[in-house]
Amino acid sequence: MRMKKSHLLAPGPTPVPPEVLAAMGQPILHHRAPEFGAVMEDVRAGLRYLFQTEEEVVTFAASGTGAMEAAVVNVLSPEDKAICIRGGKFGERWQEICEAYGAEVIPIDVEWGSAVNPTLVADTLQAHPEVKALYVPASETSTGVRHDVEALAQIVRPTDAILVVDAVTAIGVFDMPTDAWGLDIVVSGSQKALMLPPGLGFCCVATKKAWKLVEQSTLPSYYFDFKKEYENLRNNLSSYTPAVSLVVGLREVLRLIRAEGLEQVFARHDRLARATRSAMQAIGLELFAKESPSNALTAVKVPEGIDGTAIPKMLREDYGITIAGGQSQFKGKIFRIAHLGYAFDWDIVTAVAATEMVLKRLGYDVELGAGVRAAQHTLLEG
């Protein structure tokens, strides 16, 4: 066996900084001990900073999908109507969760690779004034598209409905201020921009309108209970045993993010995203996102005549680089390079160089270094 250095450039899980790994390697704290209460106190403040809110953010021991489920079972009641913005795996997931609990979904279909047209959302909401909630992924990780959450928030605000945002590849990637935009509920997860292992789900219930729905909700739930969790959180506790080591790691992550500063974090993601896009275009490839590409990842169309599934496979097996392929009907048709979380300039240069080599080996006519050069120029310009 050849020794290999691995590079994780998938849109989750993402690499974990050494400081955070070290923090998580400390002996386990008891979750009712004062030491852990102090950790929770720091984490609460850090999450408020990260989510840009005065409200609290609750943390569950669950993957991001658990946080999504929490934002359905605590909000809706059986047979309630909800609008789900589709157009990718994660938009579809909102619909699946709502339907699993007997809610009626009015889907808004968006072509994969496109962003939702806010006017269409406004019209749909007007035609269905009984809708309780609108569910949307801020950054649709399966297509690399960013939806205009700010515009959606403006549409939803004057109505009786609330806006629930899946921010798993948005929080810590680009500016999406919860309070300033009036987002009602924001959910996220640990293993993307938050630079942690999988296992934590976050929910921020940020408005009175959202709390009113939570009070009225009659869907069955036990573990995912916003009221109970928020009550405990105010005493630096969680209702059940938290994922202690992950929460200790989270405190470290939040320190790192605060030290860099949110603005710098967003600027870094923007620079890496632009470098990746310019590199792919310089080697003649087309971006999958027709509009508003997300700064979390770059989805790229596989060129005609090339075996698309071979690209991530060769990158992983021959070069130790993990990116992602396409999902569902786009399996083999696109590949996705992530640049979120603990990602820096040389991650991009490495990924681009290896992608050029793989494409060349697969028979695609690429001038080696063309993408790398484009990325370098973008990175130099800042």
Ligand X SMILES: *Cc1c(COP(=O)(O)O)cnc(C)c1O
Binding segment (CB under 6 A) for ligand X, from list 28-36, 164-172, 175-183, 246-254: 164-172
Q: How many residues does the chain have?
A: 382
Per CB under 6 A, the list member of 46, 64, 242, 303 interacting with ligand X is 64
- 217-256: which residues touch ligand X (CB under 6 A)? none
In terms of CB distance, is 141 or 278 closer to ligand X?
A: 141
Site for ligand X contains 65 (CB under 6 A)? yes
Q: Are 360 and 368 in contact (CB under 8 A)?
A: yes
CA torsion 109→114→119→123, rounded to 10°? 0
Site for ligand X contains 355 (CB under 6 A)? no
Q: Cα–chain-centroid distance for residue 129?
A: 29
Site for ligand X contains 12 (CB under 6 A)? yes
Here's the x/- map for ligand X, 99-138, by CB under 6 A: it reads as --------------------------------------x-
Q: Are 47 and 253 in contact (CB under 8 A)?
A: no
Q: Least Å distance between CB 10 and ligand X?
A: 10
Q: Are 170 and 138 in contact (CB under 8 A)?
A: yes
Site for ligand X contains 292 (CB under 6 A)? no
The residue whose two tokens read 């609290």 is: 56
- 67-96: which residues touch ligand X (CB under 6 A)? 90
Site for ligand X contains 63 (CB under 6 A)? yes
3-state secondary structure of 55: coil
In terms of CB distance, is 96 or 381 closer to ligand X?
A: 96
Exposure b/e, 152-167, CB count within 10 A at least 16 = b: bbebbbeeebbbbbbb
Q: Are 215 and 202 in contact (CB under 8 A)?
A: no
Query: Which residue number places its CB atom closest to ligand X?
Result: 64
For residue 244, what are its two tokens? 């202690």
In terms of CB distance, is 176 or 359 closer to ligand X?
A: 176
Q: Least Å distance between CB 312 and ligand X?
A: 17
d(CA 177, CA 358): 39
Q: Least Å distance between CB 85 and ligand X?
A: 12
Site for ligand X contains 189 (CB under 6 A)? yes
In terms of CB distance, is 11 or 113 closer to ligand X?
A: 11
How many CB atoms are closer than 10 A to CB 183?
A: 29
Pairing mode, strands 104-108 and 81-85: parallel
In terms of CB distance, is 108 or 353 closer to ligand X?
A: 108
Binding site for ligand X (CB under 6 A): 11-12, 63-65, 90, 137, 141, 166, 168-169, 189, 192, 198
